[in-house]
């Protein structure tokens, strides 16, 4: 796939639509479009992954192993949502598993190359990491709401008085 196609896809996604085209071109140089059929695994919890991904088409579920509960679906993501952001931390160990809920296409970006670009061009790095931080802040809110749903059927926590 050519860079222009990846730039076009990135320009249409919530995560990256407000980035200037010059940044999209630089990101696209390290990216490719990857397709995943429905029910396929994009990555597994604790696996090493070196790609930041942005959902372009389809839906992806994030599942996590929870002690005493087994595998729990914690969230589903759609077009414009970022996943596998742990790759940007340089360690790349995934904290969840990702499963395509339907035929899905992602923009897969080599994290190591993006990090080197961020280090060599601080303005680029600042702008990109602002977008990542905003996406993570939105994810945190969504996760909090999901946790409220997850624990809605459990006994409420009532603090005990002094013993």
Higher pLDDT, 160 or 97: 97
Helix and strand totals (H; E) in the chain: 4, 8
Is the Cβ–Cβ distance between 92 and 111 less than 8 Å?
yes
pLDDT tens digits for range 79-127: 999 999 888 887 768 999 999 999 999 999 999 999 999 999 999 999 9
Q: Could you tell me what percentage of the chain is helix, strand and coil, using 3-state DSSP and rounding each to the nearest 5?
A: 35, 30, 35
Q: Is the pLDDT of residue 157 over 70?
A: no
Q: Is the pLDDT of residue 25 over 80?
A: yes
Helix axes 111-120, 122-150, angle to 10 degrees: 130
Tokens encoding 149: 């749903």
* pLDDT at residue 66, rounded to an integer: 87
Q: Roughly how many angstroms between the first and final C-alpha of the chain, as a whole number?
A: 67
- 105 contact partners, CB below 8 Å, separation of at least 6: 33, 34, 35, 36, 55, 56, 57, 58
Please state which architecture CATH assigns to domain 3-150. Sandwich (2.60)
* pLDDT at residue 118, rounded to an integer: 92
């Amino acid at each position: 796939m050519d860079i222009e196609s990846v730039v076009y896809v990135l320009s249409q996604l919530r995560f990256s639509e407000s980035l200037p085209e010059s940044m999209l071109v630089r990101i696209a140089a390290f990216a490719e479009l990857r397709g995943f059929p429905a029910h396929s695994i994009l990555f597994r919890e604790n696996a090493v992954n070196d790609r930041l991904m942005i959902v372009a088409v389809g839906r992806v579920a994030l599942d996590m192993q929870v002690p005493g509960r087994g595998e729990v679906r914690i969230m589903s993501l759609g077009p414009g949502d970022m996943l596998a952001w742990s790759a940007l931390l340089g360690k790349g160990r995934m904290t969840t598993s990702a499963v395509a809920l339907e035929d899905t296409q992602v923009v897969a970006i080599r994290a190591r190359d993006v990090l080197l670009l961020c280090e060599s061009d601080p303005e680029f790095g600042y702008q990109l990491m602002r977008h990542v931080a905003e996406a993570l802040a939105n994810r945190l809110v969504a996760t909090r709401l999901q946790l409220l749903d997850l624990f809605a059927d459990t006994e409420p926590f009532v603090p005990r008085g002094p013993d």
